[in-house]
């Protein structure tokens, strides 16, 4: 298994540009999520999905859109990039079922985004 994969690894955008960060997992996980990591702030949840066709907002959703058309993929879209969105973005996935099996989230390697 490749686990959770993210592309690209690095990206530089100009203010106002749009782009999509890709995330895919091959573990048949129902639950997928996007976090952003900023210095001194830990990881903050942007959006999450409990299954194909179902998404919901996390702690910091403004400026980001998501969709979940398949179990494997969970892309994150920036419609009009702003310097405040400069961050490292992590995608994660897990089983949704309760109990120990459902609790561990597996993280991708991250995308480092700079908005000028």
Partner 1 sequence: AQSVTQLGSHVSVSEGALVLLRCNYSSSVPPYLFWYVQYPNQGLQLLLKYTSAATLVKGINGFEAEFKKSETSFHLTKPSAHMSDAAEYFCAVKLTGGGNKLTFGTGTQLKVEL
Q: Answer yes or no whether residue 110 interacts with partner 1 by CB under 8 A.
A: yes
Among 16, 53, 83, 109, binds partner 1 (CB under 8 A): 109
What is the torsion angle, in degrees rounded to the nearest 10, for the CA atoms of residue 36, residue 23, residue 49 and residue 25?
-130
From first CA to last CA, the distance across the chain in angstroms is 36
> Restricting to residues 85-104, which ones interact with partner 1 according to CB under 8 A?
90, 92, 94, 96, 98-100, 102-104
- Work out how close the CB of 84 gets to partner 1 at its nearest, in angstroms, rounded to a whole number: 18
- Work out how close the CB of 42 gets to partner 1 at its nearest, in angstroms, rounded to a whole number: 4
Query: Considering beta carbons, is residue 67 or 96 the nearer one to partner 1?
Result: 96
Among 66, 78, 108, 115, binds partner 1 (CB under 8 A): 108
DSSP state of 83: G
In this structure, the number of other CB atoms found within 10 A of the CB of residue 6 comes to: 20
C-beta separation of 53 from 69 below 8 A:
yes
Among 48, 76, 78, 85, binds partner 1 (CB under 8 A): 48
DSSP state letters, 58-107: -SS-TTEEE--SSSSB--EEESS--GGG-EEEEEEEE--SSSHHHHPPEE
Binding site for partner 1 (CB under 8 A): 4, 31, 33, 35, 40-45, 48, 50, 58, 90, 92, 94, 96, 98-100, 102-110
């Amino acid at each position: 298994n490749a686990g959770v994969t993210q592309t690209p690894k690095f990206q530089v955008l100009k203010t106002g540009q749009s782009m999509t960060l890709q995330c895919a997992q091959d573990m048949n996980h129902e639950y997928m999520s996007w976090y952003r990591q900023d210095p001194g702030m830990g990881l903050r949840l942007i959006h999450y999905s409990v299954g194909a066709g179902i998404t919901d907002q996390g702690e910091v959703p403004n400026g980001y859109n998501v969709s979940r058309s398949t179990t494997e993929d969970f892309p994150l879209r920036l419609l009009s990039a702003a310097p405040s969105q400069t961050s490292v973005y992590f995608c994660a996935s897990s089983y949704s079922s309760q109990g120990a099996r459902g609790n561990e989230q597996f993280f991708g390697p991250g995308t480092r985004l700079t908005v000028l």
